[in-house]
Chain A
Amino acid sequence: MEHPNQETLLTLSSYNFERFAEADNLLRSGVHIQNHKSQRRIFDFIEDNIIPLKKFYEMLYNAKLYEQTTVDNKYYYLDAVDAQNKIFNRAKLDQQTTLFAIFLYWLHKMEKQFSFYLTKQEIIEILNSHHRIRPHIQKIFFGSEKEDTLSVHKTLDNWVSSSLNKLVKIGWVYFPDDDEKFELLPAFERIAEIYKDVIYDIDNIKTTSDFQNQ
């Protein structure tokens, strides 16, 4: 029975409304949803109900369901409209994972544009052998140049594996079959989006005295 004063918060499409719980849970867990085989059901659901869903999160959670397009895809994610929003717990991506994500984006766009799958082994080899990367990585992780020992390998492996696991959780990376080969998802483009302003301004930033003194 409907009361004349009752306000409807959410009207979903009749043919796939049952996907709401899963979609809501994923979005509120910080997962990015995109048109990819692993998320297609949920992606289609969001696409079909985008207007009511946006309204729903805005009204009830003071949050925005963001919609971003990439060259050949699209992704959605939920975020609080203002930082003071207490309805969500927000987690910071740790610095190691952030550094890894920036490295991975560079690797994919500059060195492996045509490789839609990468492997952990491949990544570790690049970290160990790329003449421009290796000295920095060695300095950051070991303080100085180290031989390629088991401990060194394990350190890099640990960094790569734990970072990838975190990126999987937010829907930026996908492991299709095993724990070795992985794919970068369209939402991984968000890393460039987040740092867009700094990237465009990098030449200026590099010349500021503040930067030089770091």
Chain B
Amino acid sequence: MEKYHKILEIFADRFSQFFPETEDAKILFSLYIKNKQNPEKFIFSEAEVRELIRKHYKEENESDKEQRKKFFDRLQRLLSSSFLERAEERQCFLLSEYSNQLCLLFFQKIEPLLNPSEIERTIDDVLLTLKINSDEIVRFEHWFEKDFKGKLKIELANQTNALEFQIKNMKDDLSECNKNMDLLEFSQYITNQMDIVIEQRIKLSKAFNGLDSISDTLSDCNLSKSSNYDFLIMKSILNEMLSVYRNKLDKSGEEISRIKGIANNLFDIIDKKPFYRKFESFFFAVLENSTTDKITTRKDSEQILFFVSEIVLPNFVKEIEIIKDTPNEYLFPDYYESFGTSKNQKVENFIKDQDKLIEAERKSIQRRHKAQRIEFWLENLREQLNEKEELNYAEFYLEMMNQEQDLEIAIKGTEHFLKTLRKENFKIETTNEFSYNSQQPNNAIWNIRIKKPF
């Protein structure tokens, strides 16, 4: 029963995008399971549907009147979304073809969870048919499509998915139990749950060993020896697919190891519980006392609508400061040249080559000059943008080139300007056309339009 409940949860989770409410998914899948258990029963009375709706929406506290109204609303929604259809019999319903297909799709994935050793039989069958069909390319192609892709690959995917489901469920389950159980009870519970999953993984791992026989058979068959091109292509596709599933199995092993790792530190987790409870109080105090400075409308210019709010946390939440980088002035030679008068410095100065120092100083001055010119042009650009709604950057660039006669300033400056303006939410659009100065025909620039922020 517990497993059935979990399957419903997984179904609702997996197909949440398809349904208005996750509860609707559970209702439909419950009806599907009823039909699966009793194939003759595919028509359901209004009372049955009502009971499922009541159960999954968990609204026992509501009055009969309220429940009735909500029931009709929900039933109407399931009907209008074509998940349910009205049967010929009065007040009866059946799953639509669409719902059936959706449930079937899921059921095929979840079914192996109940029967994990199925793959062993499938591998044996497929291996047997491979041995018969691996001498002729036409027969091998048929085997590849029907037996490998049609049977084994699906089975491998189902089994690895099933194991993933199980591990995910176990993690959620353990997190939930961790809240309420004491150390002894919880450690026992973890051991039991882990044993179940580990046993299933061992079975699956053992079954996967059979895949080696398929790879061996493929390597030893006549088609392989004759280096048939089509065969070799299919063989490599097949081996790639097998390695995907082997990899998935390995990952599940890693996940189990990590759960074990957490379980090994169980004492620390339990020991820290009082702190985590305090943290919880802290978190809710932060939530309750956070305010929104302003709620602006929306950033429509982003084309994706979302609300923007300035959150102000309560005073007791101090701001977190993290070092970001080193300011530019500490990266320039000036800083190191005036680095104080340590013993090193004196010795170093003594042996420094005078020419190299002069050269370094010249380069430093040159760098500073270029940086100043770039800042000057950025200011100039800002002024122009203040006056206009839109600016063609190519014209600005050519003007800058013309005055500076320095390609480095123009290129580094452009990079700096565009980056800065982008950060300030200016819209920058590059077109397919370009401009150039006839005096410098080798230096062209795309026509870039800069628009003010919306």
- State in angstroms the CA–CA spacing of A92 and B179 once bound together: 34
Question: Which segment of A12-20, A39-47, A149-157 sits at the interface?
Answer: A149-157
In angstroms, how far is the closest chain A Cβ from the Cβ of B18? 15
Contact with A along B251-279 (1 / 0, CB 8 A): 00001001101100100110010011011
Query: Which one of A5, A132, A137 lies within 8 Å of B343 (CB-CB)?
Result: A5
Within 8 A of B (CB), among A45-101: 63, 71-72, 78-80, 86-93, 95-96, 98-99, 101
Residues of A near B323 (CB, < 8 A) are 28-30, 63, 78-80, 88-91
Q: B316 in the interface, Cβ–Cβ < 8 Å?
A: yes
Within 8 A of A (CB), among B275-296: 275-276, 278-292, 295
In angstroms, how far is the closest chain A Cβ from the Cβ of B109? 19
In angstroms, how far is the closest chain B Cβ from the Cβ of A84? 13
Given A88-B325, A214-B289, is A72 in contact with B283 using a C-beta cutoff of 8 Å? no
Given A113-B175, A195-B317, A202-B282, is A6 in contact with B311 using a C-beta cutoff of 8 Å? no
Contact A202 B278 (CB under 8 A): yes
User: What is the chain B residue whose CB lies nearest that of A97?
Assistant: B320
Contact B285 A194 (CB under 8 A): no
Contact B307 A142 (CB under 8 A): yes
Residues of B near A5 (CB, < 8 A) are 343-344, 346-347
Given A141-B292, A151-B305, A214-B314, is A202 in contact with B174 using a C-beta cutoff of 8 Å? no
- State in angstroms the CA–CA spacing of A111 and B174 once bound together: 10
- Name A's B-contacting residues (CB within 8 A): 3, 5-7, 28-30, 63, 71-72, 78-80, 86-93, 95-96, 98-99, 101-103, 105-106, 109-116, 132-133, 136-137, 140-143, 150-152, 154-155, 157-158, 170, 191-192, 194-195, 198-200, 202-203, 205-206, 210-211, 214
Can you list 19 contacts pairing A with B, beta carbon distance less than 8 Å? A5-B344, A6-B343, A29-B323, A72-B265, A79-B322, A79-B323, A95-B311, A95-B313, A99-B287, A106-B279, A106-B280, A110-B280, A133-B287, A143-B295, A154-B306, A155-B308, A198-B282, A211-B285, A211-B314
Sort A-B residue pairs by CB-CB distance and give the 3 closest, nearest first. A154-B306, A91-B324, A136-B287
Given contacts A28-B323, A116-B255, 13 further A-B contacts (CB under 8 A): A5-B343, A30-B323, A93-B319, A93-B321, A105-B279, A113-B175, A114-B172, A114-B178, A136-B287, A154-B306, A155-B308, A158-B306, A205-B316
- Name B's A-contacting residues (CB within 8 A): 170-172, 174-175, 178-179, 255, 258-259, 261-262, 265, 268-269, 272, 275-276, 278-292, 295, 298, 304-327, 330, 342-344, 346-347
